[in-house]
């Protein structure tokens, strides 16, 4: 595996742990005064107020009253922070519980996504191409199509 500029060889593992809720777990040492949820909350506030371009590790750290390096102990980089922000704004909506076909989950996803865009216009600026690694990815149109084997969604080879 090649090293990634946002966290070295551990980048994918750390990103997945953070997205699925295991990344904030610590086993030794004093209780941290800063957490991933707080970092994400402030980053979303900055993006809501000024757009996604205003969200930098330095800016979020300043808003929290910490150094930039303190953030990197919790989030390996801006790319992961953006994934966490997307996940927090979209995944917090209703989970896919449909058992009666693919139309209902796709319609629910579209309505939830539209509501998220109205609340957080910066989502339009985010890199939403491809599947999300977080909880939102399990509700994405491509995931729903794969789960329900929708013929129109199959890729051609």
Q: Which stretch of DSSP H or E encloses residue 69?
A: helix 68-72
Ranges of each domain in the chain: 11-153
Question: Which residue did the predictor score with more confidence, 103 or 30?
Answer: 103
pLDDT (average), residues 118-147: 67
Closest CA relative to residue 88, chosen from 38, 50, 125: 38
CATH number for the region 11-153 comes to 1.10.10.60
Per-residue pLDDT tens digits for 17-73? 665 565 555 556 656 689 999 999 999 999 999 999 999 999 999 999 999 999 999
Question: Which residue did the predictor score with more confidence, 142 or 38?
Answer: 38
The answer on pLDDT for 124 being more than 90 is: no
Alpha helices in the chain (DSSP H): 11-20, 36-50, 57-64, 68-72, 78-90, 103-119, 141-148
- Tell me the backbone φ, ψ of residue 8, rounded to 5 degrees: 70, -155
Confidence tier at 95 by pLDDT (50, 70, 90)? low
pLDDT of residue 47: 97
The answer on pLDDT for 138 being more than 60 is: no
């Amino acid at each position: 595996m090649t090293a990634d500029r946002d966290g070295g060889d551990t980048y994918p593992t750390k990103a997945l742990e953070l997205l699925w809720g295991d990344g904030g777990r610590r086993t030794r040492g004093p209780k941290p005064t800063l957490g991933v949820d707080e970092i994400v909350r402030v980053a979303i506030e900055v993006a809501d107020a000024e757009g996604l371009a205003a969200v930098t590790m330095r800016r979020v750290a300043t808003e929290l009253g910490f150094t930039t390096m303190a953030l990197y102990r919790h989030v390996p980089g801006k790319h992961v922070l953006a994934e966490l922000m997307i996940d927090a704004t979209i995944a917090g909506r209703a989970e896919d519980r449909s058992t009666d076909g693919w139309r209902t989950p796709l319609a629910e996803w579209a309505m939830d996504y539209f509501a998220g865009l109205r609340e957080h216009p910066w989502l339009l600026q985010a890199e939403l191409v491809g599947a999300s690694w977080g909880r939102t990815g399990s509700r994405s149109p491509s995931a729903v199509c794969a789960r329900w084997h929708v013929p129109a969604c199959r890729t051609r080879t």
